[in-house]
Amino acid sequence: MFSRWYTIAVALFWMAAMGWLFQQKLLPPLLVGDPPNYRTILNEETVDNLPVSWDVFLNDRELGKATTRTERQKEAVSEIQSTVDLNELPLREIAPAVFSLVSKLLGEDANSIDSRISIHAESTLQVDPLGHANNFRSTIKLQPPSGESGKRSPLAGLNLTLSMRGQVVADQMEIKVKFGDFERQTEIYLPADALIGDVLSPPNYLPELRVGQTWTVPIYSPFRDPSDPMEILHATVERKELTRWHDALVHTLVVAYRNDPGRGMSGDQNVRAQAWVDERGQVIKQEVALPTVRLQFVRCLPPKPGDPAPATPAQLEGAAGTTADAVQPSLQDRTDDNTSAEFSTNAP
């Protein structure tokens, strides 16, 4: 028979494990309320149903534009759509695994290739009538940078596309990745009511936040190794902060994204991303930590009365030979009033 001390040790270990589970997973919702979910987010989106434009910065250098919008489909299905155009992106520094694949596709030595590229990205996340993520699609086109340097780029004249597809089946997300001849299919566990994130697409709203709320965010990124494009992060509303947004100081709540403490043994709790959310639930800034740089999204001011509404990706596709050629002028036109706005971050 087991000794008395062995039985005591097992009992203590069980109580410690249950205590951690209660403190980390069960107690926070009881104290601070439920975290945001797709139902509350989509309710906010339908109040004005206007697209949201973003200025994108890399270490405070303006890099491009982004726009996100929500479309209601048939049978109460919602689609959260995003379009992103970035220029002069240092691919080698921010996505070494993707850069290695590009060099292999070109059949050239990686050291001889100019790593600066342009990308045009489109993504769609579908949410069912019950407020659960159903599937996502993401397509990223790698192109030579604009200007004279693009004409000399080995990417000139090529069509390199990284595509990702995700389908929710029960509590699993089935993910398919394709880039040139590279194809990979994988599965990850998807927690209930998880908010799927995209590195290139900040959420427009995170309503009804309170300090101490926590939730799980499976996030996919074109900058990760294509064989492992999605990871699980743990979001926490950490503090209140007075934040500069354009020409005003705004009261915000700061959401920090870290590796989920309930997964893995690495213990890495560095901040992977942060979002600043105002009192209306609007995400006004988001910052993502990449291997050697910071990618920042700053929400543009709302359009003035009488300004034309931004075109949807489908409208742009029909108006030009390729969406990539059409999106950049459209985004530039609707953000001219905001390009000179001051950007300042209070991130630690």
Q: What is the pLDDT along the chain (348 residues), one digit of tens a residue?
A: 557 777 888 888 888 888 777 666 666 555 567 888 998 888 887 666 788 999 999 988 999 999 999 988 888 889 999 999 998 888 877 887 787 777 776 665 555 555 678 889 999 999 998 888 999 999 998 887 665 555 555 666 666 888 999 999 888 889 999 887 788 898 888 887 788 988 888 999 999 999 999 998 988 888 888 888 888 899 999 999 999 999 899 999 999 999 866 554 444 568 999 999 999 999 999 999 887 889 999 999 987 766 665 555 455 445 434 433 333 333 333 333 333 333 333 433
Q: What is the pLDDT of residue 4?
A: 78
10-49 residue pLDDT tens: 888 888 888 777 666 666 555 567 888 998 888 887 666 7
Phi, psi of 191, rounded to the nearest 5 degrees: -60, 155
The pLDDT, as a whole number, for residue 263 is: 52
Instruction: Give ∠ CA 97-100-104 in degrees, rounded to 5.
Output: 145
Which residue reads 């599965």 in tokens? 187
> Do 68 and 54 share a structural domain?
yes
Q: Indicate the pairing of strand 214-220 with strand 197-198.
A: parallel
Q: Which domain holds residue 7?
A: 1-32
pLDDT at 65: 95
Examine the domain organization and report whether 63 and 133 are in the same domain.
Answer: yes
Same domain, 12 and 57: no
Does residue 182 lie within any of the structural domains? yes
Helix (H, G, I), strand (E, B) or coil at 240: strand
Distance of alpha carbon 84 from alpha carbon 67, whole angstroms: 7
Whether residue 343 lies inside any domain: the answer is no
Question: Do 220 and 197 touch, CB atoms closer than 8 A?
Answer: yes
Per-residue pLDDT, 7: 80
Please indicate, yes or no, whether residues 14 and 144 belong to a single structural domain of this protein: no
At 75, list the tokens: 């049978």
Q: Are residues 134 and 163 in the same domain?
A: yes
Name the residue among 225, 207, 216 with its Cα closest to residue 258: 216
| Per-residue pLDDT, 32 | 62
* Token pair recorded at residue 147: 């200007």
Q: What pLDDT, on the 0 to 100 scale, is given for residue 81?
A: 92
**Cβ–Cβ < 8 Å for 237, 220:** no
Q: Is residue 329 part of a domain?
A: yes
Query: Has residue 169 been placed in a domain?
Result: yes
Cross-strand partners of 298: 55, 285
Residues 51 and 8 grouped into a single domain: no
Q: Is residue 347 part of a domain?
A: no
